[in-house]
Amino acid sequence: MLEVDIFTVIVIGFVLLLSEALFSGAEIAIVSADRARLRAKAEGGNRGAEIALQLLEKPEWLMGTILTCHNASFVTNVSLATIAAINFVGPAYGEALSVALVIPLLVVFGEVVPKGYCQARADVLAPILARVVWGARLIVYPLVWLISALIGAVVGLRRRNGESTPFVTRQELESLVEEPSDGDVQVLERQMIGRIFTFGELDMENVLVPIVDLSAVDEEGTVEEVIQRIEDDGHSRILIYRENFHHIVGVVHARDIIGLGPDAAGRLKDKDGLIRSAYFVPETKPADSLLDELMSRKDKMAVVVDEYGACTGIVTMEDLVEEIVGDIADEYDVDEVRMFHKLGEDQYMVDARMEVEDVREALELPVPDGDYETLSGYLLERFERIPKEGESISLEGWTLTVQSANERQIETVRLERNV
């Protein structure tokens, strides 16, 4: 029987256990690391991050090295422990003791614990452990070459069969957007990528132009009325309603009126084809779905209706596109220059339709977040009713006074910073 020294066995076993844990952790850390962050570090001169990216681009190198070193450590440790157990308790119980005690310890402390630890800290540990894997690869290169060839053959077969993984995952792109670095992705590009991810979560209520901002003419009206609306409001498409503003029946295009030539007068109903059918969509329709439909229909506008069929607003192609690329001025946008003007020191007159985000940015008014988008929406939530002219509220050193309002909405608000 082979004589072994217990101290030597413990020391060698501990070293082999560390080796097993190191390569187990390295595998999960490198694979789990965020590639966008690795690229950012590599561009900053981090050699470990460069190596990690090289290993990820050559998975046969990574897996070949880790399989060789990890399995060599594990098998050697199990064999050594089995020999030691047989030496101390005899062949009858030695193998059973090794299986029952040693192998579970190796699995727990050589696999489970290091993988859990390294996965949670993958972005930090991957550049460090990648250097270790790269160095080990050079030492065991012949075996790695053989294993890499086998892995490469399998990967090549999968690729020929059409199986592949995306070059960049959604998670990596999201991380790239959130990463506060001065890399290749500029601020506007980050914002656009972020908008693309959230675009599919929007519905019509998030993007529509509200009905109060629209131009419409009664279907019993005349072409002259439509022309007057076009001249007054600057819109190229005028909605046509029946009986009340919420009952939209169609739309008239300015170019169609121009096409009438000398006949551009008289009742709308007497002009065949002048009132075009409107495209109606529910408030719950996803924005990305409507964009696809408008493109396929070669249309530029949809009328949004609620569950009762009443018009709540419209959505244009420009409204949808600007949710991705940012603000695009179109005929239905409220002129931001006219949204507010300064009356005096820390005094402003503001259009109640001004969006809360713009109010915060332009006037530094600390309007809290809530289930509203405009200054009017915030005031309605505070008053819990449509306030009358002259009523006011206080907001963190500011006084907000309703300057003008009607029975349906707030129109203008006077803002004054309290000194």
**pLDDT tens-place string over residues 214-270:** 888 999 999 899 888 888 877 778 899 998 888 999 999 888 888 777 777 888 888
Least confident of 289-293, 308-312, 340-344: 340-344
Same domain, 20 and 110: yes
Same domain, 406 and 351: yes
Give pLDDT, residue 314: 92
Looking up tokens 């309007």 gives: 367
Residue 360 has pLDDT above 80, yes or no: yes
Same domain, 107 and 221: no
Same domain, 209 and 341: no
- Which residue, 293, 325, 357, sits at the end of a domain? 325
Q: What 3-state class would DSSP assign to 418?
A: coil
Ranges assigned E (strand) in 147-300: 209-210, 216-218, 237-242, 244-253, 280-282
Same domain, 124 and 52: yes
Give pLDDT, residue 62: 81
Burial label for 54, CB within 10 Å (0-12, 13-18, 19+), is: middle
Same domain, 122 and 254: no
In-domain check, residue 89: yes
Least confident of 204-213, 254-263, 295-304, 375-384: 254-263
Share of the chain above pLDDT 70, in %: 85
- Which residue, 160, 184, 214, sits at the end of a domain? 160
Amino acid residing at 203? D
Residue 179 has pLDDT above 90, yes or no: no
Looking up tokens 């030597």 gives: 8
Helix (H), strand (E), coil (C) string for 306-318 = CCCCCEEEEEEHH
User: Taking the alpha carbons of 218, 222, 224, 230 in that order, is the dihedral positive or negative?
Assistant: positive
In-domain check, residue 1: no
pLDDT in tens, 68-120: 888 888 888 888 878 877 777 777 677 777 777 778 888 888 888 998 899 88
Q: What 3-state class would DSSP assign to 415?
A: strand
Same domain, 179 and 141: no
Residue 156's pLDDT band (cuts 50, 70, 90): low
Closest to 74 (Cα-Cα) out of 40, 107, 39: 107
Report the distance separating Cα 386 and Cα 298, nearest Å. 40
- Cβ 215 vs Cβ 238: under 8 Å: yes
Residue 333's pLDDT band (cuts 50, 70, 90): low
In-domain check, residue 298: yes
CATH classification of the domain holding 413: 3.30.465.10
Same domain, 22 and 122: yes
Ranges assigned E (strand) in 196-243: 209-210, 216-218, 237-242
Same domain, 135 and 221: no
Q: Mean of the pLDDT values across residues 128-138? A: 88
| Mean pLDDT rounded to a whole number for the chain | 81
Q: Mean of the pLDDT values across residues 143-166? A: 60
In-domain check, residue 330: no
Give the bridge partners for 414, in sequence order.
349, 401
In-domain check, residue 24: yes
Domain enclosing residue 390, as ranges: 336-417
Q: Mean of the pLDDT values across residues 158-167? A: 49
Residue 200 has pLDDT above 70, yes or no: yes
- Cβ 115 vs Cβ 28: under 8 Å: yes
Pair of tokens at residue 194: 């972020």
Give the bridge partners for 237, in sequence order.
253
DSSP character at residue 98: I
Highest mean pLDDT among 8-22, 176-190, 375-389: 375-389
In-domain check, residue 368: yes
335 φ, ψ to 5°?
-65, 115
Give pLDDT, residue 403: 93
How many C-beta neighbours within 10 Å does residue 134 have? 19
In-domain check, residue 353: yes
Closest to 103 (Cα-Cα) out of 2, 15, 27, 20: 20
The string of DSSP codes covering 301-349 is: EEEEE-TTS-EEEEEEHHHHHHHHH-----TTS--GGGSEEEEETTEEE
Residue 336 has pLDDT above 50, yes or no: no
Residue 201's pLDDT band (cuts 50, 70, 90): confident
Give the bridge partners for 84, in sequence order.
none
Same domain, 317 and 244: yes
How many C-beta neighbours within 10 Å does residue 329 have? 10
User: Could you tell me the CA-to-CA distances from 13 to 10, 25, 104, 371 in Å, in that order?
Assistant: 5, 18, 14, 62
- Residue bearing the bigger pLDDT, 378 or 331: 378
Residue 325 has pLDDT above 80, yes or no: no
Residue 1's pLDDT band (cuts 50, 70, 90): very low
Same domain, 177 and 281: no
Number of domains in the chain: 4
Distance of CA 300 to the CA centre of its chain: 26
In-domain check, residue 165: no
Closest to 400 (Cα-Cα) out of 3, 368, 163: 368
- Residue bearing the bigger pLDDT, 381 or 197: 381
Give the bridge partners for 253, in sequence order.
237
Q: Mean of the pLDDT values across residues 12-33? A: 88
Same domain, 68 and 11: yes
Q: What is the CA radius of gyration of the chain?
A: 35
Residue 189 has pLDDT above 80, yes or no: no
Pair of tokens at residue 7: 């101290």
- Cβ 85 vs Cβ 95: under 8 Å: yes
CATH classification of the domain holding 221: 3.10.580.10
- Which residue, 325, 359, 382, sits at the end of a domain? 325
Helix (H) or strand (E) holding 65: helix 59-89
Residue 337 has pLDDT above 50, yes or no: no
- Residue bearing the bigger pLDDT, 325 or 277: 277
Closest to 2 (Cα-Cα) out of 97, 86, 59: 86
